[in-house]
């Protein structure tokens, strides 16, 4: 397999307040112990700001790192609270995520990654979120 494969990524984020869907071109990298998905994605509906996202996918854990106007470093593991950091133009905030479900099926041709979690910050719950990435090969 090549070091990286060009892919198309469709993100679907479901929260209590609604569903958001966006698409991006990126790369799928095979790692010794899992996969890495990298892309540049829009931070706003009008596309005025972008962030770089890296998703490291292992059998039992996902680590998401975003760098842009809003940054984030968060790990997700089923049945466990995982500490993370969200950075804004106003400073960094500690967050925690409890993962209820994590499913990943990736191959050199693409696949799907989906996880469901609760997020809290400063002992305040932010509700449940489900993220699904559908990844398909063959982009330029």
- Spell out the residues 6+ positions from residue 90 whose beta carbon is closer than 8 angstroms to its own: none
Look at residue 3 in the predicted model and tell me its pLDDT: 73
Question: How would you classify the pairing of strands 91-107 and 4-15?
Answer: unpaired
- Number of domains the chain contains: 1
- Spell out the residues 6+ positions from residue 13 whose beta carbon is closer than 8 angstroms to its own: 19, 20, 21, 129, 130, 131
pLDDT tens figures, 93-110: 999 999 999 999 999 899
**Ordered mean pLDDT values, 10 residues apiece, the chain (140 residues):** 82 92 94 94 67 93 93 96 93 95 94 96 91 82
User: Which is it for the CA torsion 67, 70, 76, 81, positive or negative?
Assistant: positive
- Spell out the residues 6+ positions from residue 137 whose beta carbon is closer than 8 angstroms to its own: 5, 6, 7, 8, 28, 108, 109, 110
Look at residue 50 in the predicted model and tell me its pLDDT: 81
Nearest in space to 112 (alpha carbons), one of 17, 47, 49, 28: 28
Tell me the pLDDT of the chain averaged across its residues. Answer: 90
One DSSP character per residue, 10-26 reads: EEEEEETTEEEEEEEEE
Give the structural domain span for 19. Answer: 4-137
Nearest in space to 22 (alpha carbons), one of 5, 46, 6, 38: 46
CATH of the domain at 88: 2.40.128.20
């Amino acid at each position: 397999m090549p070091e990286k494969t060009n892919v198309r990524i469709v993100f679907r984020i479901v929260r209590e307040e609604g569903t958001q869907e966006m698409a991006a071109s990126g790369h799928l990298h095979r790692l010794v112990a899992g996969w890495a998905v990298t892309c540049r994605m829009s931070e706003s509906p009008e596309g005025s700001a972008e962030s770089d996202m890296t998703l490291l996918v292992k059998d039992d854990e996902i680590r998401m790192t975003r760098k842009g106007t809003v940054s984030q470093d968060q790990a997700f593991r089923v049945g466990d609270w995982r500490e993370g950091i969200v950075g804004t133009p106003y400073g960094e905030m500690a967050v925690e995520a409890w993962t209820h479900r994590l499913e990943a099926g990736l191959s050199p041709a693409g696949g799907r990654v989906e996880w469901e979690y609760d997020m809290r910050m400063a002992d305040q719950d932010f509700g449940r979120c489900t993220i699904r990435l559908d990844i398909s090969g063959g982009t330029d």
